Amino acid sequence: MNIVAKKPPLTIRLCQPRGFCAGVDRAIQIVVLALKKYGAPVYVRHEIVHNRYVVEGLQNLGAVFIEELHEIPADHRHCPVVFSAHGVPKSVPADADQRNLFYLDATCPLVSKVHKQAMRHSRLGRHVLLIGHAGHPEVIGTMGQLPPGAVTLVETEADAQTIEVSDPSALGFVTQTTLSVEDTAGIIRALENRFPQMQAAAAESICYATTNRQEAVKQSAAGVDLFLVVGAPNSSNSRRLVEVAERAGAKRSLLVQRALEIPWDTIDDLRVVGLSAGASAPEILVDEIVDAFRDRYDVRVEIAATAEETENFPVMRALRDVDLTPADMAFVNGSR
Ligand code: SF4
Ligand 1 atom at minimal distance to the Cα of residue 311: 7
Nearest to 11 by CA among 289, 296, 270: 270
Q: Is the pLDDT of residue 101 over 80?
A: yes
How do residues 14-51 score in pLDDT, each as one tens digit? Answer: 999 999 999 999 999 999 999 999 999 999 999 989 99
Give the Å distance between the CA of 154 and the centre of ligand 1: 20
Mean pLDDT of 76-82: 96
**Percent of the chain, pLDDT > 90?**
92
* pLDDT value of residue 203: 76
pLDDT band for position 201 (cuts 50, 70, 90): confident
Average pLDDT over the chain, rounded to an integer: 95
* pLDDT value of residue 48: 87
Catalytic status, residue 283: no
* pLDDT value of residue 330: 94
Q: Could you give the CA distance from residue 304 to residue 84 in angstroms, rounded to a whole number?
A: 31
* pLDDT value of residue 127: 98
How do residues 249-284 score in pLDDT, each as one tens digit? Answer: 999 999 999 999 999 999 888 999 999 999 999 999
Give the Å distance between the CA of 118 and the centre of ligand 1: 17
How do residues 114-151 score in pLDDT, each as one tens digit? Answer: 999 999 999 999 999 999 999 999 999 999 999 999 99
User: For the ranges 1-15, 97-111, 244-258, 288-302, which has the lowest average pLDDT?
Assistant: 1-15
Q: Best substitution site from 83, 86, 111, 214 to test ligand 1's pocket, by max atoms within 8 Å of Cβ?
A: 111
3-state secondary structure of 44: strand
**Angle, helices 22-38/109-123, rounded to nearest 10 degrees:** 110
Q: Could you give the CA distance from residue 277 to residue 128 in angstroms, rounded to a whole number?
A: 32
How do residues 152-175 score in pLDDT, each as one tens digit? Answer: 999 999 999 999 999 999 999 999
Taken in order 42, 47, 51, 56, the sign of the CA dihedral is positive
Cα 210 to chain center, whole Å?
A: 8
Nearest C-alpha to atom 5 of ligand 1 is from which residue?
23
Ligand 1 atom at minimal distance to the Cα of residue 27: 5
Give the Å distance between the CA of 281 and the centre of ligand 1: 12
CB of 189 within 8 A of CB of 131?
no
* pLDDT value of residue 269: 87
Ligand 1-lining residues (CB < 6 angstroms): 21-24, 85, 108, 110-111, 177-178, 207, 209-210, 237, 279
Catalytic, out of 67, 138, 192, 288: 138
Angle at 210 between CA 206 and CA 214, to 5 degrees: 120
Ligand 1 atom at minimal distance to the Cα of residue 138: 4
Q: Could you give the CA distance from residue 280 to residue 160 in angstroms, rounded to a whole number?
A: 29
Nearest C-alpha to atom 8 of ligand 1 is from which residue?
23
Give the Å distance between the CA of 296 and the centre of ligand 1: 35
Higher pLDDT, 247 or 48: 247
**Percent of the chain, pLDDT > 70?**
99
Q: Could you give the CA distance from residue 326 to residue 234 in angstroms, rounded to a whole number?
A: 28
* pLDDT value of residue 2: 64
Q: Is the pLDDT of residue 336 over 70?
A: no
Neighbours of 61 (CB within 10 A): 14
Q: Is the pLDDT of residue 205 over 90?
A: no
The residue count of the chain comes to 336
How do residues 278-318 score in pLDDT, each as one tens digit? Answer: 999 999 999 999 999 999 999 999 999 999 999 999 999 99
